[in-house]
């Protein structure tokens, strides 16, 4: 691959990121078309049901161009026609994709292009493309969303006072950044304990967003107060361990053998509803349950430069029993935000 190839794919990824808040349940895709070293077309997928990135990029392009796209062009009829047909029609000479489509229904595009005599390559900046669509990849390959758990804590890992008060452990910059992550998620989840203590809205407010994520509550015994702020506005999805009704909410009963919400089945149900990324903002009990049941893919930890001490609440209600059984994580990235540090972490070993 040449320097031009890398530059054009980098641009395609920038375009794809413009759909960060809007494409769900579809992937975020960007496309650049080049002829004789010059960009002759650009596009990105803006929302489900709208034109794919290739359609906008190929509107007025000469024959014999090279197309750079962050995801293998689709070959199936969905809400829109197959992009491979348009690429053939426009007489594109070469297609470079960052990654192959993980969706089995749409993963034949490269082969079809090659069969039509169009040079097809993939793998350029694949890691970056996969990170941009990590939730979509999770949903179509694992049948569950990518679960990102957000935690605000002190240096000694405390998330609230003993009585549950936690507003605010982190500063304004960290809170605003947290709303960016809320906005990119398809759904935001909390537990009834957090509702009782903080009465959150779980809406995106600190940053501009074209849509609000679905709000989800885990409430085994349907104890969410009818006057809770989260029940206002758009309809809420509640997972419970018994049948029942809450105002402005759809209640789904998924009970496990312990008369609690079956969390793995909950993830499957969210995936069925098109949720790619699930953003968790819960308390130590639900955090621990999700972790114990293998339902956490990533930790978004905002760490404040302070201490609260042993009487305060921790991140998880866990007792692994030995040091060998502790949850080990790998650092993906770190960034200072005012007086806080944002850590993006992924488990490298499950809780045993």
Residues with catalytic function? 54
Report helix, strand or coil for 304: strand
Question: Two tokens at 27?
Answer: 């992937």
Q: For residue 191, what are the contacts with CB-CB under 8 A and spacing of at least 6?
A: 217, 218, 219, 282, 283, 285, 286
Q: What b/e string do you get for 315-326 counting C-beta neighbours within 10 Å, with b at 16 or more? A: bbebeeeeeeee
Q: Cβ distance 285 to 314 under 8 Å?
A: no
Instruction: Say if CB 230 and CB 217 are below 8 A apart.
Output: yes
d(C-alpha 336, C-alpha 127), whole Å: 24
In 3D space, the residue among 149, 134, 131, 142 whose CA is nearest the CA of residue 279 turns out to be 149
Instruction: Note whether 284 and 191 are within 8 A (CB).
Output: no
Q: Are 281 and 200 in contact (CB under 8 A)?
A: yes
Pair 113, 86: CB distance under 8 Å = no
H or E stretch at 286: helix 284-292
Alpha-carbon gap, residue 283 to 156, rounded angstroms: 16
Give DSSP secondary structure letters for 89-119.
HTT--EEEEEE----GGGTTHHHHHHHTT-E
Nearest-angstrom CA–CA distance, 80 and 87: 14
In contact, 218 and 192? CB cutoff 8 Å: yes
């Amino acid at each position: 691959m040449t320097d031009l190839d890398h530059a054009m794919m980098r641009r395609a990824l920038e375009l794809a990121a413009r759909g960060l808040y809007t494409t769900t349940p579809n992937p975020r895709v960007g496309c650049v078309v080049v002829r004789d070293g010059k960009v002759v077309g650009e596009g990105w997928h803006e929302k489900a049901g709208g034109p794919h990135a290739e359609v906008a990029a190929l509107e007025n392009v000469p024959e014999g161009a090279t197309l750079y796209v962050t995801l293998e062009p689709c070959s199936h009829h969905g809400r829109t026609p197959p992009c491979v047909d348009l690429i053939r029609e426009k007489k594109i000479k070469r297609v470079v994709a960052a990654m192959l489509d993980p969706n089995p229904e749409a993963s034949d595009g490269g082969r079809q292009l090659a069969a039509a005599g169009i040079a097809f390559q993939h793998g350029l900046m694949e890691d970056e493309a996969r990170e941009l669509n990590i939730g979509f990849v999770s949903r179509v390959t694992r049948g569950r969303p990518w679960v990102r758990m957000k935690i605000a804590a002190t240096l000694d890992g405390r998330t609230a006072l003993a009585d549950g008060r936690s507003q605010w452990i982190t500063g304004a910059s960290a809170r605003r950044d947290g709303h960016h992550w809320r906005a990119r998620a398809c759904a935001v989840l909390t537990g009834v304990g957090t509702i009782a203590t903080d009465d959150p809205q779980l809406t995106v407010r600190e940053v501009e967003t074209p849509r609000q994520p679905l709000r989800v509550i885990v409430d085994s015994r349907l104890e969410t107060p009818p006057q809770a702020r989260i029940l206002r506005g758009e309809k809420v999805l509640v997972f419970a361990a018994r049948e029942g009704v809450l105002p402005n909410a759809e209640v789904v009963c998924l009970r496990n053998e312990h008369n609690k919400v079956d969390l793995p089945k909950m993830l499957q149900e969210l995936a069925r509803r098109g949720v790619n990324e699930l953003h968790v903002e819960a308390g130590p009990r639900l955090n621990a349950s999700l972790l114990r049941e293998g339902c956490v893919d990533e930790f978004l930890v905002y760490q404040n430069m302070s201490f609260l001490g042993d009487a305060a609440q921790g991140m998880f209600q866990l007792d692994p029993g030995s040091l060998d059984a502790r949850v080990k994580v790998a650092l993906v990235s770190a960034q200072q935000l005012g007086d806080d540090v944002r850590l993006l972490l992924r488990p490298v070993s499950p809780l045993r």
